[in-house]
Amino acid sequence: MKWNSVKNYRQMSRYGAERLFSVIADRLSAGKTANIGLATGNTMIKLYAILAGMLNHAGIDLTGLSTFNLDEYVDDNGNNLDYRHPLSYRQYMTENFFDLIDPATGFRQENMVFPDAENPSAFDALITRRGGLDIQLLGIGFNGHIGFNEPISAEEITAEDFARLPSRIVELDALTLKTNARLTAGDQIDTVPRRAVTMGMDSILKAKEVILLACFTEQAEPLRRIRSGQTTPELPASFLLKHQTTEIVYTEDKIKL
């Protein structure tokens, strides 16, 4: 695992966009496909604006690009949250990234993939069929979650079983509901769906490369716990310690380790 500190949000966003761009450009210009795992959240907003600009200027044909989003909320009927719901992650991605990409690049709507609450295992199968993720972009929850793989007591699950968790529907942790209500729903906790469909630990840990970005003071604590070196289901991001090509990038202005 590689640790990398940058000055601030702007530098983190540029660094992350450049990493993703270089994986996409290297693979597509070599005549291969590019499979990129993406995250939503406040951490990523500027990164997507920069990345879209880079892709538009590069003049690369993006028909071979597929994106696989980590997660989506699930509504009371057990379906992916409607696109028009203000908290929909598909809506977030459309507004912050997909709509910013010039249609002339050839990036295809059917290659913008999300896990499907009706059939979560199909998501893992599709990632495998397409050859696996070339890079996975991650944020980190204040409780150490990655995607919506929430902490589980080490008494309830072994590390081996946790690392193999497939894509699935999960109940969101109380801290996640509270944080997401505060940061994305004007503190209205009832607006935040209680469940989500998430990419599992297995698909995340199989990505060829992982880049995790952190830029909020509350993320210092889970990062310090990763640094302590112990892998535990109580801190899902600690499983990245076992992933050889993970880079953690954090901003020095907000995070002191």
Find the part of the chain contacting ligand F6R (CB under 6 A) among 12-20, 99-107, 113-121, 145-153.
145-153
Binding mask 49-88 for ligand F6R (x = CB under 6 A): ---------------------xx-----------------
Q: How far is the CB of 23 from ligand F6R (least distance, A)?
A: 19
Footprint (CB under 6 A) of ligand F6R, residues 173-202:
183
User: Hey, what are 129's tokens?
Assistant: 């069929």
Using the minimum distance from each CB to ligand F6R, give the nearer residue, 104 or 189.
189
Residue 119 binds to ligand F6R (criterion: CB under 6 A):
no
Using the minimum distance from each CB to ligand F6R, give the nearer residue, 41 or 200.
41
35 given a catalytic annotation: no
The correct pick among 145, 170, 200, 243 for binding ligand F6R (CB under 6 A) is 145
- Contacts of residue 212, Cβ cutoff 8 Å, sequence gap at least 6: 138, 139, 140, 146, 237, 240, 246, 247, 248, 249
Tell me which residue has tokens 């929430």: 150
Q: Tell me which of 134, 150, 234, 247 is the catalytic residue.
A: 150
145 given a catalytic annotation: yes
**Whether the Cβ atoms of residue 9 and residue 215 lie closer than 8 Å to each other:** yes
Q: How far is the CB of 155 from ligand F6R (least distance, A)?
A: 24
190 given a catalytic annotation: no
Residue 17 binds to ligand F6R (criterion: CB under 6 A):
no
Distance from chain centroid for Cα 134? 13
Residue 40 binds to ligand F6R (criterion: CB under 6 A):
yes
75 given a catalytic annotation: no
- Contacts of residue 57, Cβ cutoff 8 Å, sequence gap at least 6: none
Element (H, E) at 64: none
For the CA atoms of 29, 34, 37, 43, the dihedral, rounded to the nearest 10 degrees, stands at 20
| Strand positions, DSSP E, 62-191 | 65-69, 71-74, 112-113, 135-138, 168-171
How far is residue 45's CA from residue 229's CA, in Å, rounded to a whole number?
Answer: 30
DSSP 227: H
The correct pick among 16, 37, 41, 233 for binding ligand F6R (CB under 6 A) is 41
Contact residues: ligand F6R, CB under 6 A: 39-43, 70-71, 139-141, 145-148, 183, 216
Residues designated as active site = 71, 143, 145, 150
